[in-house]
Amino acid sequence: MGGMNVIVVACNSLHLGFLGAYGNAWIETPSLDRLATEGVVFDHHFPENLTTLPTRRSWWTGRYGFPDPEAGWTPLRPDERILPDLLWSRGVRSALISDVPLLRETGLGYGRGFDEVIWIRGQGYDPLVPKDDPRARGVSIDDDPGLRLPPDDDPDYELWKTRWEQYLRNRAVLKWDVDEENTGVARTVNAAIDWLERRGTQKEPFMLWLDLFSPHGPWDPPQPYRDQYVTVDPDEFEAGEEGDLVEDESGDLDDEIDIEEVAALIDVPGGAVGDVLSEAELFRLRRTYAGTVTMVDRWLGVLFEAMGRLGRMDDTLIIFTSDQGEPLGEHGYVRRFRPWLYEELIHTPLIIRMPGGRHGGIRHQAIVQTVDLLPTVLAALGVAPVLDEPILHGYDLLPLIRGEQTKVRDYACLGMDVAEFAIRTHIWHLVVPAESDPDEPRSPELFRKPEDRWDQHNVVDQFPEIADHLELTLRRFVEAVTRDDFEELPHLREIARLGAR
């Protein structure tokens, strides 16, 4: 198969629980809801190596790297072939359009190889506006209480102060807090539409990688998004649904909070609820985050509408995904404060829409991972890896979509910072510390799926035999990745049998 174009839309830090296609009934995401009805929704999609840069390495190489410290938040090796390298001599035009400042950092190499690269500047702590720029004169972090600095004696105080001063200078110049057209997501989507319009009716197939920083923090959307959900009191915010962090001793903190009186936080350092922000502020932050998700969805709708106008919904495969989730208090902390591989961080969306919406409107239960994206893109473009290229660890997902296969793997293995590993099946989720932390000792944790969606109830003591089997499988998988030998990886028939007891 082949003969189609491919557009990948990748978001940064999109919490699965905030999407209508994945069960949220109150946050407005009509564009992605429509994409889900026309595409295939994968209910069990997981990264293999977190966070931002390691996931892009997984996407662009199709290979596992989570046990290797040299394959994490590290520069791409000069000889490391990535997706645009595989398309270079195959007659496919490739483009990267992104507002993710982390990809552009000097020496990392994550913008290399594409025929065209367009960087949209100013997101996050991107060093766009210098200190002496007169347009940012008078900007002071003291003037914005929405930015929460750590204590003066915190070793990271100067780091965060520098970041937020840069952020405020960028905002003063770009004014995205008052003009939606100046937000990073709007400018990036408009750049993508312009690129598609310039393609016109050219016959050369293309692969456009649209990499969006949103809804990653800082969370500073303009109105109406900032306050869109501030008065909403959905069940999803009740204690026990997304964690127990909003519950006091009476079990009903929600009734005691006048959420409209809680000031919106723009950004906080990663940390524990109660330290970097209060429980009431966490409650408000979730609503601001929800508004940011809705803003992203609105601009994806603008993109899809333009694609329809240009005839690209009929000849282009669309892949929508995110590199990671976003911890929002489910386990007592916000942002990626710890390498803890819980559901809110590791369960990510994947929606694939075939040209013309073929095979759309179904939910697939196969366990899939970020390493599967590259072989799927290559197959859609009709490009087969050649013999001298590294062996891909991922699988082409198009046979799943066409109904020719029902699964590609029995379990997903993943890790973060070579500090914690995890293995996920349809029934179980085992988290295993890969190294000891004397300041915060960790033991293996086991969670039952799907009933314990947000990993709140550790059942490792009740099911020690299952935990042992899962950990053995995980460790054998790590050895296989280390050796780059996947010939005899274990399957989970015994674990499935035990889980059925």
What mean pLDDT do residues 387-407 have?
88
What is the rounded CA–CA span in Å between residue 131 and residue 183? Answer: 21
Torsion angles phi and psi, residue 124, rounded to 5? 60, -125
- State the helix-helix crossing angle for 279-309 and 184-199, rounded to 10 degrees: 10
What is 5-127+180-405's CATH number? 3.40.720.10
What mean pLDDT do residues 94-112 have?
94
The 10s digit of each residue's pLDDT in 425-459 is 999 999 999 987 777 789 999 999 999 999 999 99
Q: Which of helix, strand or coil describes residue 40?
A: strand
Give domain limits for the chain: 5-127+180-405
Q: Which of helix, strand or coil describes residue 207?
A: strand
pTM metric for this prediction = 0.94
In this structure, the strands spanning 412-416 and 49-50 are parallel
The 10s digit of each residue's pLDDT in 358-372 is 999 999 999 999 999
Can you read off the two tokens belonging to residue 337? 């404060």
The 10s digit of each residue's pLDDT in 207-259 is 999 999 999 999 999 999 999 998 876 555 544 444 433 333 334 555 567 77
The 10s digit of each residue's pLDDT in 398-433 is 999 999 999 999 999 999 999 999 999 999 999 999
- CA-CA-CA-CA torsion for 237, 241, 245, 246, nearest 10 degrees? 30
- Per the DSSP assignment, residues forming a β-bridge with 421 are 415, 432
In this structure, the strands spanning 420-424 and 93-98 are unpaired
- Whether residue 279 has pLDDT greater than 50: yes
Which uninterrupted H or E stretch holds 45?
strand 40-46
Contacts of 14 (CB under 8 A, 6+ apart): 215, 293, 296, 322, 325, 326, 348, 349
CA angle, 400 as apex, 395 and 405 as ends, to 5°? 95
What mean pLDDT do residues 43-71 have?
96
**Residue 130 and residue 251 in contact, taking contact as beta carbons nearer than 8 Å:** no
Q: Which amino acid is at 316?
A: T
Contacts of 52 (CB under 8 A, 6+ apart): 12, 73, 100, 102, 103, 323, 324
